[in-house]
Amino acid sequence: MDHAAQAADPHAEIRVEVTKLCARFPGEYWRQVDRDRQYPTSFVQALTEAGYLGALIPEEFGGAGLPLSAAAAILEEIHRSGGNAGACHAQMYIMGTILRHGSAEQKKRYLPKIASGELRLQAFGVTEPTSGTDTTALRTVARREGDNYIVNGQKIWTSRAEHSDLMLLLARTTPRDQVAKKTDGLSTFIVDMKAALGNGLTIRPIRTMMNHNTTEVFFDNMVVPAANLVGQEGRGFRYILDGMNAERLLIASESIGDAKWFIKKAVDYSKERVLFGRPIGQNQGVQFPIARAYAQMRAAEALLLLGLGKFENGENCGEEANMGKMLAADAAWAAGEACIQTHGGFGFAEEYDIERKYREARLYQVAPISTNLVLSYIGEHVLGMPRSY
Ligand SMILES: Cc1cc2nc3c(=O)[nH]c(=O)nc-3n(C[C@H](O)[C@H](O)[C@H](O)COP(=O)(O)OP(=O)(O)OC[C@H]3O[C@@H](n4cnc5c(N)ncnc54)[C@H](O)[C@@H]3O)c2cc1C
């Protein structure tokens, strides 16, 4: 289905423009950066120049001041066109923490430069090797010393760290056994990574199943000016949580884009490939998995739109954001399965792009939150069952 053709879609024009931009970065481009594990610099630059990465930054700070649904449309179209927004999507939702909780000085200093592309805010340092999903058990410590904080510890899966100027970092400022609630005592900082690199900050790339430019980072007495603390000390976990529904809705839109890409590719091929005297798509065994994935995608998309609407009205969209993210990731995976199966052996050939998209789509059942944790959110917060962890 071509969404750009839907008159009711308020972002139809953005979709058309993003699709045009993406046409300049075809399968060959993504295959090459994937093969060489490179950062898609020219693609990210083109997106930045067109203003898409500053879509959510208010106009007073040089951004486009668009609603979350516009950002979702941008990311969906990148994925529907066969690309991967994983190289830059975090900029869209990380900056929300600075926008909502940063000081006037921080907003003035960073947001216009992020909007113009002069500074990249693409690294988000939350996950640690020992604590994983159990975020409040993280061990990175920031200790106040005069006008600075001294940071020691380690993060893992800090994506885009080598290609970002700034990192939003979550660290413990009060030990867990000295706070009333384990969610207290965590603080959020803006780290100038270029200044810190080699001065207490070390970055080590991790090669992964897909090209995600992810890394592990080490802090060894890294100095962060106290002026870079976001909001109040000890309230950082809440600030990060605040942005999570937006992140889930945006990631869901990428999965919807992936599902649409797989479905179109599968449908087209099923009509072209003729065996036993008829197109393979005439066989129900080929048709039904694609049709089922389409139905799953549409259901997830409906939930996503509901979540985006609630978010934009300032309503709590936790239920829709979580369920939308999980169902969209499942739909993308079902569509990927149908697509690879429809293509038979050709589905495994690099030049068809299917195996690459298949690897990329799998991530979203694990990150930024894994399916089990979404299910426990539904069990506890929607259905009122006892907390399971
Ligand atoms: C490519 C990639 C990029 C990433 N980028 C970033 C980034 O930029 N910044 C960042 O901070 N993080 C990032 N992450 C981390 C990501 O958010 C985590 O991998 C994810 O949240 C899961 O955490 P974990 O890997 O530590 O798994 P764990 O927390 O160790 O969980 C392992 C498994 O156990 C299950 N599990 C754990 N606890 C429970 C429970 N109570 N009940 C039921 N099941 C449970 C989980 O669902 C999961 O399947 C990235 C990860 C990857 C792979």
Query: Is there an atom of ligand 1 within 6 Å of 157 CB?
Result: yes
C-alpha distances (whole Å) from 5 to each of 15, 52, 80 are 10, 21, 14
Distance 164 CA to ligand 1 centre (A): 22
CA-210 nearest atom, ligand 1: 1
pLDDT tens sequence across 313-343: 999 999 999 999 999 999 999 999 999 999 9
Instruction: Say how far apart CA 53 and CA 45 lie, in whole Å.
Output: 10
- Phi/psi of residue 121, each to 5°? -110, 85
Element (H, E) at 75: helix 68-80
- Based on the number of CB atoms within 10 Å of its own CB, is 367 exposed (0-12), middle (13-18) or buried (19 or more)? middle
pLDDT tens sequence across 282-313: 999 999 999 999 999 999 999 999 999 999 99
Q: Where are the beta strands (DSSP E) in the chain?
A: 121-125, 141-145, 148-156, 166-172, 186-192, 201-205, 215-225, 229-230, 274-275, 278-279
Pairing of β 186-192 and β 229-230:
antiparallel
Per-residue confidence band for 4, with pLDDT thresholds at 50, 70 and 90: very low
Q: Which domains does the chain have, with CATH numbers?
A: 3-116 (1.10.540.10), 121-239 (2.40.110.10), 243-382 (1.20.140.10)
Contact in structure between 256 and 300 (CB atoms under 8 Å): yes
CA-372 nearest atom, ligand 1: 47
pTM confidence score? 0.97
pLDDT tens sequence across 338-366: 999 999 999 999 999 999 999 999 999 99
User: Is the peptide bond between 368 and the residue preceding it cis, with omega within 30 degrees of 0?
Assistant: yes
Mean pLDDT, the chain, as a whole number? 96
Lowest mean pLDDT among 6-20, 64-78, 172-186, 344-358: 6-20
Query: Is there an atom of ligand 1 within 6 Å of 132 CB?
Result: yes
Can you give the length of the chain in residues?
389
pLDDT tens sequence across 266-277: 999 999 999 999
Per-residue confidence band for 242, with pLDDT thresholds at 50, 70 and 90: confident
Name 172's bridge partners: 141, 186
Query: Is there an atom of ligand 1 within 6 Å of 127 CB?
Result: yes
Nearest CA to ligand 1 atom 24: 132
Which amino acid, residue 225? Answer: P
Instruction: Say how far apart CA 340 and CA 336 lie, in whole Å.
Output: 6
Distance 365 CA to ligand 1 centre (A): 10
Nearest CA to ligand 1 atom 33: 370
Per-residue confidence band for 381, with pLDDT thresholds at 50, 70 and 90: very high
Mutate to test the pocket of ligand 1, among 157, 169, 364 (most ligand atoms within 8 A of CB): 157
